[in-house]
Amino acid sequence: MTRPVPLFVLVAALAAAPGCERLVERQIEHNLQRVDASVLESPDLQVVLCGTGSPLPDAARAASCTAVIAGGHFVLVDAGPGSWEVLDLANLPIGRVDAVLLTHFHSDHIGDLGEATTQSWIAGRAAPLEVFGPPGTARVVAGFAEAYAADVGYRVAHHGEQAMPRAAAGAVARELPMPAGAAATPVFERDGLRVTMFVVDHEPVKPAVGYRFDFAGRSVVVSGDTRKSANLAANARGADLLVHEALHPGMVGRAAEAARRLGLERVAKLAGDIPGYHASPAEAAEVAREAGVAHLVLTHLVPAPPNALARRMFLAGVADAYDGEVTLGEDGMRFSLPPR
Ligand SMILES: [Zn+2]
Ligand SMILES: [Zn+2]
């Protein structure tokens, strides 16, 4: 038996309907206007952490991604899985991303390259996305182009050339020669933003590089994946901000022991292998000290500390090694360096 709806509920629903519609419309307008394009006009060298996690799943952290915005350019260092969503939700002008710089080809650094390429085109990017990186970059870009070829075709056919120009779709690989020794390879110099690439130490993974950005007297260095690297310290000399990866060997070691106790030998082996080609938080701090960096930002956190106690453990030894400012990175964090 169905009960009749009380009259006052019907009246209230009818009265509320126009108000509800207005609320929904306002929300839609707000969403359409939320993008903050003013970051492209700023005179500052700006950094946004678009992924501070690792290959380990984490609801609060995307995998590797650091955005640098300066001189009207919007550049990503790596595009790890989940990072595109972080950028989009940060209300950044994602249709203006004009370059991605790859540090190496581990999946946690390239997994969202297809999304970065496609979604920035949908958001209005006017030319193919430039993807810079060491030898091997062209193969990665070609692979994503193949995987997304049907998608490009659908969108052009569905919305028309005017709205979705095929000429702006996809990415173009700009493979750079590996720097000789401690030297740095120029990546580009545009509108006052100078980018260079240098070798880091992620053995047995080769090539592996980091990037330095100089703009208006300020500088930012992004390490990529590396164990403690003297060449990184040399190339980070005097930087304002060093965004450095960090893996806590003690915490990962405990995870390996726990896996072994549970009979998960394969998991224990994998966990035991990874500390060898990453830097500990204290080692990242030593690099920051040796390079004379003003501010160290830790990213690519393994394991990502979930609470204040774990954050304390993660940073143990850092203050002894380095007396500059230290920030444990979180997705969406922003840093702004005014011109000097
Ligand atoms: Zn890696
Ligand atoms: Zn990684």
User: pLDDT tens digit string along 35-45?
Assistant: 999 999 999 99
Which pLDDT does position 184 carry in this prediction?
A: 96
How many other CB atoms are found less than 10 A from the CB of residue 258? 13
Which pLDDT does position 56 carry in this prediction?
A: 87
Which pTM does this prediction carry? 0.93
Which pLDDT does position 133 carry in this prediction?
A: 98
| pLDDT of residue 3 exceeding 90 | no
How far apart CA 198 and CA 204 sit, in angstroms, is 17
Centroid of ligand 1 to alpha carbon of 13 (angstroms): 56
Q: Is 256 exposed, middle or buried (0-12, 13-18, 19+ CB in 10 A)?
A: buried
Integer-rounded Cα Rg, in Å, for the chain is 23
Asked if 323 is an active-site residue, the reply is no
Centroid of ligand 2 to alpha carbon of 246 (angstroms): 10
Q: Which ligand is closest in space to the CA of residue 299?
A: 2
Q: Which ligand is closest in space to the CA of residue 106?
A: 1
Which pLDDT does position 5 carry in this prediction?
A: 62
Ordered DSSP codes for 24-54: HHHHHHHHHH---GGGGT-SSEEEEEEE---
| pLDDT of residue 7 exceeding 70 | no
Q: Let me know how long the chain is.
A: 340
pLDDT bracket for residue 244 (50, 70, 90) = very high
Residue 81 near residue 111, CB atoms below 8 Å: yes
> Which amino acid is it at 214?
D
Residue 244 near residue 299, CB atoms below 8 Å: yes
| pLDDT of residue 64 exceeding 70 | yes
How far apart CA 52 and CA 161 sit, in angstroms, is 37
Centroid of ligand 1 to alpha carbon of 139 (angstroms): 17
Token reading at 188? 């580009």
* Catalytic-role residue among 108, 225, 240, 331: 108
Residues with CB under 5 A from ligand 1 (ion): 106, 225
How many whole angstroms from its chain centre is CA 27?
A: 28
| pLDDT of residue 249 exceeding 60 | yes
| pLDDT of residue 209 exceeding 70 | yes
Which pLDDT does position 9 carry in this prediction?
A: 65
Where is average pLDDT lowest: 243-252, 269-278, 282-291? Answer: 269-278
Which pLDDT does position 182 carry in this prediction?
A: 86
Average pLDDT, the chain: 94
DSSP label at 305?
P
Residues with CB under 5 A from ligand 2 (ion): 106, 108, 225
> Which amino acid is it at 326?
V
Per-residue pLDDT, averaged over 231-260, amounts to 96
Centroid of ligand 2 to alpha carbon of 231 (angstroms): 19
Which pLDDT does position 33 carry in this prediction?
A: 87
Token reading at 122? 């949908």
Give which of 156, 149, 139 is closest to 170, Cα–Cα: 149
Centroid of ligand 2 to alpha carbon of 107 (angstroms): 8
Q: Which ligand is closest in space to the CA of residue 203?
A: 1
Alpha helices in the chain (DSSP H): 7-33, 83-89, 107-110, 113-122, 137-147, 149-159, 230-235, 249-261, 265-273, 281-291, 308-314, 318-321
Q: Are strands 129-133 and 99-101 parallel, antiparallel or unpaired?
A: parallel
- Residue corresponding to tokens 């994998």: 270
Give which of 243, 233, 216, 248 is closest to 333, Cα–Cα: 243
Centroid of ligand 1 to alpha carbon of 78 (angstroms): 11
Q: List the beta bridge partners of residue 196.
A: 186, 212
Per-residue pLDDT, averaged over 240-269, amounts to 95
